[in-house]
Amino acid sequence: MQSWADDVAHTIVQGVTRSGKSVWTYSLLAQLAADPLVTICGSDPTGLLWRPFAGTRHAALQVSGVDDPGAHEALLQALVADMDARIADARRPRHRRDHHRPAAASRRP
């Protein structure tokens, strides 16, 4: 199975106001979210970005708003730990690699 995760690691979206950046970004995220090998995760102080993902499998790894800075910190620490584990795993021969999903941080609003 070919995954989006193999093709889209980092992306920057730039443009003037009302040029379609948000529409393009949500379209990409919706396609990525459908892939079982991809988890849409992150920290959004605005409380807007993750609304379309409420109630989905992705929500456990998303923090929104400014009421609980500790939740953002816990999530980011969990994601960094996951990235460190993936980097260590990438150094192993392909047939010995662990394929895992990030563990949810301990607190979510």
pLDDT tens-digit readout, 38-47: 889 999 998 8
Which sign does the torsion angle of CA 63, 20, 14, 32 carry?
Answer: positive
pLDDT tens-digit readout, 27-40: 888 888 998 888 89
| Chain-centre distance for alpha carbon 93 | 26
Beta bridge partners of residue 42, listed in sequence order: 62
Q: What is the value of pTM for the model shown? A: 0.67
pLDDT tens-digit readout, 52-106: 899 999 999 999 999 999 999 999 999 999 989 988 888 888 776 666 555 554 4
Cα separations (Å) of 67 from 22, 76, 97?
24, 16, 38
Helix (H, G, I), strand (E, B) or coil at 26: helix
